[in-house]
Every structure is written in C-alpha cells, then in structure tokens.
Amino acid sequence: MSLTKLVLRNLLRHPIRSGLTALGAMVAIFLMIFLRSIVTSLDDTTKEIGSDRVITSSAVSLFQALPESYINKIRNMDGVEIVSRFTWFGGYFEDPSNFFAQFAVDVNIFKNIYPECQLKEEEWKTWADDRKGCIIGSALATKYGWQVGDKIPLIGRIYPKQDGAWDFNVCGIYQTESSIFDPQSLYFHYDYLKETMMKENNQDDFPCGLFVLKVDESDQVAEVCREIDSIYDGGPQRTLSQPEAAFQAAFVSMLGDIPTFLGWIGAAVVFALGLSLINTMLIASAERIGDMGVLKAMGFSDGTCGSLLIAESLALSLGGGLLGCGLAWVSIPFFRKLFGTQIPRYDVHETTILMAMGVGLIIGLISGIVPALRARRLDAAQALRSGI
C-alpha cells in the first residue's frame, strides 16, 4: 500500500467519470498540439525553401499577371542565372472536386531551378519533346492510378478551351524527398498554354503569372530583388520580387493572422479542459469528505490530504495529456496526407509536446487546488459526522 496506489484506486472509484475526464484532457491537449503544429509547420515550410530562388510577381496582386516581355530584361541581369515563366493553371479533372495544383513552366529551366523534382533523364527528354506532355507527382499518380503514357483531360477554369478539355500526356512521374516540394502537382509546357490561348482568343500576347529565378549566389538575392523592382518601378506594371520563402510566407498571411487565430482557439480549448477538470475534482472531493475524515483521524496531515486530491487531478490531466501527445504523434502521417500541398511540412515539434505537457501540468495543479484547499481545511470530526 502506498499513497500513489491510493490515488490510482480513487481514480478508478468512478472509472467512467475518470475515463471521460481523461479523454477530455486527451482531446484538448491533442487539439492544442495540432493547432500549434499547423503554425510551426507553416513556419518550417517557409524556412526550408531554397535560398537561391526569387519570385517576381505583380506588385498589385498575386492574381495580376505580368507582361511576358519582362523575362528578357530579367534574364540578362547580373546575378540572375536562369528564369522560368510560371503560371497557375487552376483546372480540374472530370469533376471540380478533383482539384490539384497545375502549373505551366519552361520545362528545361524548371529542371534546373527545382532540383527537388526527381525524374529519370529519359523522362525529362520525353517531356521536353512532347508539347502536350506533362509530369505528375508520385502521390498524384497513386491517387488517380495514372501511369506514364496515360492522357489526362483537364477542364480549365481560368483558361477554358473551346473544344472542352485540355489533354496532357503523362511523360513522367516525379519523386521528391523534399517535404516542401508537393508530390501532388502537375507541370506542363508553358508554350502549350500560351500558344493555345493566343490562338483561341486571337491575342497577340499572353501575360505570365509570375517569374521564378535562380540567382548565381544566395547572397545576391536581396540585390537582385531590388534591381528588378527598380526597373519596373515606373510601369507598365510594377513588380514585387522576393525570396521564395518570403513569397510563401506572404501567401500564407493572405489567409489572415493564422497564428493568432489558432492561438485563441487553442486557449479556448484549454480553458474548457480546465473547467471540466475542476468540476470533476470538486465532485470527487465532495464524495471524499468521509474518507478525508478517516485519513485525518489516522494521522494523515492536512497537507497530505490536500496533496492526494492534487495528485488525482494531475494524474487525470497528465494522463489524458500523454494520450493526447501520443495521438498527435501517431497522426502526423495522416495530417501530412490530408494537408498535402497546403502544409507539406506538417510535423509536431518536441517543444510543442513539452509546451502541451506544461499546460497539462498547470491545468492539473489549478484544478486540484480548490478541492485540495477544501480537504486541508476540513475538520476531521465534522467530516466523520457527515456520513459521506
């Protein structure tokens, strides 16, 4: 017999109540970790992005295209190694719910800008030679069962085609070991998009969504950005050039102040857990008045009697918290798959786990304090007379 055993046995006095409270703690701690991990993972994503890449987009809006002719000046600037045109296609396969990222790119340049995209040499060549060719990520291929040689018909929403779907021939399935390079995307020839749209709409030119540059040296990024933007400061369209990491961070911030928003949700969840645990512990202590009287009669000090209730509260809070941490840990692969391109770097940091357990500890202590103080103050003779 030990005090630890007594605490555990008391927890099992009402197993359903204790179980549900611990379950509540598990869900709350899991949610807290999950929400915090979204924030840290978005942060990680921007940190891991290649430091030698620059994105030049319209200074007005991300949805405003730039004159294609800009590429000629940018290409010839000091410090710029290569430039690819890059346009978001925004189509879907058969049904609008079958949505995934599609980009029109300069194939040969794209290969050198994104070494994360791993493709067999013959597949690069096949793709380069096939005007309607495309490459797809391994996860996308698995999802739809597509193989090299298949035709993928996509309906264009931004770039609709008069005769219906755009047909793309799968020339290769790329692999990637990088967590920031989406394995669920499709890349195709920029010129296929440009020429088709110019023909369909009788246009003389075709604006480009944005330009992706690779600079000679990482330390030239800031200077190159400044120089590009200064060239087009007077128009016809102003540009905004920024390191790829900053571009991604700005993209994320378009969704609002996510960290603050998620932080408030997390705080609300933790507050609810605290109230639930306090309620459980108050009920437990009210039921335990007679027991406390007996313990005090035996010689247990007021402090020990109070500590028993704090220990119970901590056991529920930390026990549930540990389960929540475990759940957060084992669900990483699930959420990586679920978030896909939105949060490709989804992970749970050790610091997040420690923070969550710290919160569990504090909630356990706070929830146990009021019942513990009641137990401390309890008069043994009165408690024994209470008959509870």
Cβ 318 to another protein shortest distance, Å: 20
We find the least distance from the C-beta atom of residue 381 to another protein, in angstroms, to be: 4
Please count the residues of the chain: 388
Segment near another protein (CB under 8 A); pick from 68-76, 201-209, 274-282, 299-307: 299-307
Q: In the window 324-383, what residues touch another protein (CB under 8 A)?
A: 379-381
**Exposed (0-12), middle (13-18) or buried (19+): which is 80, by Cβ within 10 Å?**
buried
Paired tokens of 33: 């970790």
**Closest C-alpha among 224, 212, 237, 185 to residue 85:** 212
Query: What are the CA-CA distances from residue 166 to residues 30, 65, 157, 163, 241 (Å)?
Result: 44, 21, 11, 9, 31
Dist. CA 346–CA 47, nearest whole Å: 13
Contact call for residue 19 and another protein (CB under 8 A):
no
Residue 336 makes CB contacts below 8 A (sequence gap 6+) with 344, 346
CA atoms of 321 and 175, how far apart (whole Å) = 37
Per rule CB under 8 A, is residue 296 in the interface with another protein?
yes
Residue 199 in the binding site for another protein (CB under 8 A): no
Q: Does 47 bind another protein (CB under 8 A)?
A: no
Closer CB to another protein, 13 or 337, in the complex:
13
Smallest distance from another protein to CB 28, Å: 27
Query: Is 286 a binder of another protein (CB under 8 A)?
Result: no
Taking the least distance from each CB to another protein, the nearer of 138 and 304 is 304
**What are 205's two structure tokens?**
């030119």
Nearer to another protein, 134 or 308 (CB): 308
Token match 């194939």: residue? 107
Among 137, 243, 274, 293, binds another protein (CB under 8 A): 293
Strand pairing class (151-154; 166-174): antiparallel
Nearer to another protein, 137 or 293 (CB): 293
From the list 95, 254, 298, 350, which residue makes contact with another protein (rule: CB under 8 A)?
298
Residues 86/208, Cβ–Cβ less than 8 Å: yes
9 binds another protein per the rule CB under 8 A: yes
Q: Which stretch binds another protein (CB under 8 A): 100-108, 236-244, 276-284, 294-302?
A: 294-302
Contact call for residue 297 and another protein (CB under 8 A): yes
Cα separation, 287 vs 294, in Å, equals: 13
Q: Are strands 210-215 and 53-58 parallel, antiparallel or unpaired?
A: antiparallel
For the bound state, the minimum distance from the C-beta of residue 5 to another protein, rounded and expressed in Å, comes to: 7
The site for another protein (CB under 8 A) is made up of: 1-3, 5-6, 9-10, 12-13, 290-291, 293-302, 379-381, 384, 387
